[in-house]
């Protein structure tokens, strides 16, 4: 039970006072003093020759010019945002494809974020541009202070390479914008009192015309305060212009409208489905079964039809892809005339090209077998596609060509660690309910070794087997083993793999991860004393549960930007948007199952916990740093030792630049090296 008995453990009763509630609210000098008091001993303990070596090695990987400068096509140019040692905040730049093909492309500078930050005295972090298409003349650039989700959005002229004086500009908020034309935006932002949802996102979409005050912008759609956020987007493809409005009623469900002649036409599809509208075609990706007439389309499938036929009710729905027990849809993206479809089969990528209309599928040529392959960029106005392919031990290759045509290797990354003798194996652990849960083991298999187990398990996010340069250099090269867990809650086997772990079934996420931990020991890959685990955000919640429910399985844990107080998560920052994932703690029935795993409420002063490092960011405006602070304070009060590090910048990513990212990663590895038996 927690010190002060603010919760009755295992019961649906709240005892009034939470003695650490103030850690959600402290700011300024008080917050800085608390952070320093916890950061300094942790840094002192973890600093040393090995830490400095790993920090330098990771920073070298992050900053090296040998990295692939991943491109994005906009008109005749390839654009890239680049950070390195000389430009820690970054350069937005462009070049031609012919120049990009060379070993030393001639980059044309568009915006120097370091110079902008110096000039304006702001800690700007790049959050990306919204470029008008197909003209590519103007952009609304989002800039974050210190890496927060909230951004300042400012109009930028890509011809003069200057911010537009007197142009469109939005104050700091979690905004989104879309160009209707060069003088008109659809804007979702903080318009003042009552304009934000309970999740902290905009609930009102307005049409903002050049030269008029934002307060005078015309309201075009409103979501409810209890919704997650409003939706407003414009597709300006010539001849196929579309405007869509709508609202997320929760994290997974949306009500969507097509706007035609000022009329809102509701798109009658399952609210939890995903849509892709391209030219005359509509794709529908299902999360749940959908009955249309006498036909039931299964969850996880992909359907295609002509959009106008769908609106008129005469659509012939074609089954483009149907999953099986071992495979699922990973992504779909359009060129002008083709669809690139990527699936996962037991977490391995498979790329196919689909011809709309006939919906014929053919394997994409030139993709390396057994590689983790993603689309880096695709030209929806042409036929160009860029792929990135890699594996745990195979450095990235950037492939370029046309959808269905031959591919050439444009760029390749160097090996950042010596993979000679390192093996990659996929195993399956048996979870408590009998489910077979896959995981990858990467390392040299001579004898049990210090093992770094990573997991996430939520929001249908898939962990795939891409190249691990930093882990390779800091962990594998020093004799460690790396394990990646594909537990339920993720999307590795489609929506069903995720939905099995939602709300009252959340416990299976933790049972899956615990099963993998035990399986690693059973197979002789590691020992309990040599097994460490790490996770961030939802994965930080996973680490909190491992600490409080499965401490006997681990030698050390690292818990980053975590959710930990599940009684109050929905009251903090964006937390209300995740009620669909976890449940509503204000509902006694929901709190009954949530209270059994919520880490903050399940700390025990009599339990023996493995060493834990908890990290967060002061500027995290998605998952409140109060989770990490309160957990640290409560653990300390219960007599447990906690290493703690809070970056005053970084946002939910935990780092605002490469130096901070290298520092934070080195803390994780050094903490594990110090606490896992050799």
Q: Could you give the residue numbers annotated as active site? A: 537, 652
Query: Across the strands, what pairs with 234?
Result: 243
d(CA 9, CA 599): 11
d(CA 65, CA 412): 12
d(CA 651, CA 145): 9
d(CA 172, CA 300): 38
Q: Are the C-beta atoms of residues 222 and 203 closer than 8 Å to each other?
A: yes
CA 374 vs CA 103, 275, 332, 367: distances in Å: 23, 19, 10, 10
Query: What DSSP string describes 185-206?
Result: EEEES--STT-B-TTSSB-EEE
| 409 alpha carbon, distance to own chain's centre | 27
Q: Are the C-beta atoms of residues 343 and 300 closer than 8 Å to each other?
A: no
d(CA 167, CA 162): 11
Q: Are the C-beta atoms of residues 202 and 188 closer than 8 Å to each other?
A: yes
Instruction: Please choose, from the candidates 524, 526, 405, 518, the residue with its C-alpha nearest in 3D space to the C-alpha of residue 475.
Output: 526
Report residue 429 as tokens.
């652990």
Query: Across the strands, what pairs with 438?
Result: 428
Report residue 114 as tokens.
């370091």
d(CA 145, CA 678): 42
At 33, which helix (H) or strand (E)?
helix 28-46
β-pair type (77-82, 91-95):
antiparallel
Report residue 379 as tokens.
């030209």
At 266, which helix (H) or strand (E)?
strand 263-266
553 class by beta-carbon count within 10 Å (0-12 exposed, 13-18 middle, 19+ buried):
buried
């Amino acid at each position: 039970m927690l010190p002060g008995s603010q919760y009755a453990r295992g019961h649906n009763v709240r005892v009034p006072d939470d003695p650490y509630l103030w850690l959600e609210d402290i700011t300024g000098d008080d917050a800085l003093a608390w952070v320093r008091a916890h950061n300094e001993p942790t840094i002192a303990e973890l600093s040393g020759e090995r830490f400095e070596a790993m920090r330098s090695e990771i920073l070298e990987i992050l900053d090296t010019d040998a990295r692939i400068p991943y491109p994005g096509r906009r008109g005749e140019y390839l654009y890239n945002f680049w950070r390195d040692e000389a430009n820690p905040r970054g350069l937005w730049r462009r070049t031609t494809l012919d120049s990009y093909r060379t070993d030393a492309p001639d980059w044309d500078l568009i915006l120097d974020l370091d110079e902008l930050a110096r000039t304006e005295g702001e800690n700007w972090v790049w959050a990306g541009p919204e470029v008008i298409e197909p003209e590519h003349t103007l952009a609304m650039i989002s800039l974050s202070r210190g890496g927060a989700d909230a951004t300042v959005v400012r109009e930028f002229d890509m011809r003069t390479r200057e911010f537009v004086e007197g142009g469109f500009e939005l104050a700091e908020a979690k905004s989104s914008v879309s160009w209707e034309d060069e003088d008109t935006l659809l804007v979702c932002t903080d318009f003042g009192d009552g304009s934000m949802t309970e999740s902290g996102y905009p609930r009102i979409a307005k049409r903002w015309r050049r030269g008029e005050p934002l307060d005078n912008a015309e309201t075009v759609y409103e979501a409810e305060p209890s919704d997650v956020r409003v939706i407003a987007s414009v597709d300006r493809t010539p001849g196929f212009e579309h405007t869509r409005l709508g609202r997320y009623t929760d994290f997974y469900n949306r009500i969507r409208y097509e706007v035609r002649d000022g009329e809102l036409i509701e798109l009658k599809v399952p609210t939890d489905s995903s849509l892709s509208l391209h030219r005359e075609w509509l794709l529908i990706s299902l999360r749940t079964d959908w009955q249309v007439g006498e036909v039931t389309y299964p969850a996880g499938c992909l359907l295609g039809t002509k959009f106008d036929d769908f609106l008129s009710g005469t659509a012939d729905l074609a089954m483009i892809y149907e999953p099986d027990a071992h495979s699922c849809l990973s992504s779909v993206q359009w060129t002008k005339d083709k669809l690139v479809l990527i699936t996962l089969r037991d977490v391995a990528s498979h790329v196919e090209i689909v011809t709309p209309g006939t919906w014929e599928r053919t394997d994409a040529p030139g993709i390396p077998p057994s590689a983790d392959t993603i689309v880096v960029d695709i030209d929806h106005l042409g036929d160009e596609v860029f792929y990135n392919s890699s594996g745990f031990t195979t450095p990235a290759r950037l492939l370029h060509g046309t959808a269905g045509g031959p591919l050439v290797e444009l760029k390749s990354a160097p090996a950042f660690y010596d993979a000679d003798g390192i093996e990659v194996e996929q195993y399956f652990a048996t979870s408590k309910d009998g489910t077979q849960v896959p995981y990858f083991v990467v390392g040299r298999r001579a004898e049990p070794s210090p093992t770094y187990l990573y997991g996430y398990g939520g929001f249908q996010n898939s962990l795939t087997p891409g190249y691990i340069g930093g882990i390779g250099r800091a962990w594998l090269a020093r004799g460690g083993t790396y394990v990646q867990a594909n537990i339920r809650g993720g999307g590795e086997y489609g929506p069903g793999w995720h939905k099995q772990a939602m709300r009252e079934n959340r416990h299976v996420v933790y049972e899956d991860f615990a099963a993998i931990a035990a399986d690693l020991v059973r197979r002789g890959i590691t020992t309990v004393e040599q097994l460490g685990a790490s996770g961030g955000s939802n994965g930080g919640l996973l680490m909190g549960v491992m600490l409080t429910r499965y401490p006997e399985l681990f030698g050390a844990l690292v818990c980053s930007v975590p959710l930990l107080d599940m009684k109050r998560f929905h009251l903090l920052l964006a937390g209300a948007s995740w009620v669909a994932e976890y449940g509503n703690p204000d509902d006694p029935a929901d709190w009954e199952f949530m209270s059994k795993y919520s880490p903050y409420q399940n700390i025990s002063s009599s339990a023996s916990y493995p060493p834990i490092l908890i990290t967060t960011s002061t500027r995290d405006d998605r998952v409140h740093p109060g989770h990490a602070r309160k957990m640290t304070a409560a653990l300390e009060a219960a007599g447990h030792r906690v290493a703690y590090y809070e970056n005053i910048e970084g946002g939910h990513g935990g780092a605002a630049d490469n130096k901070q990212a290298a520092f934070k990663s080195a803390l994780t590895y050094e903490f594990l090296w110090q606490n896992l038996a050799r």
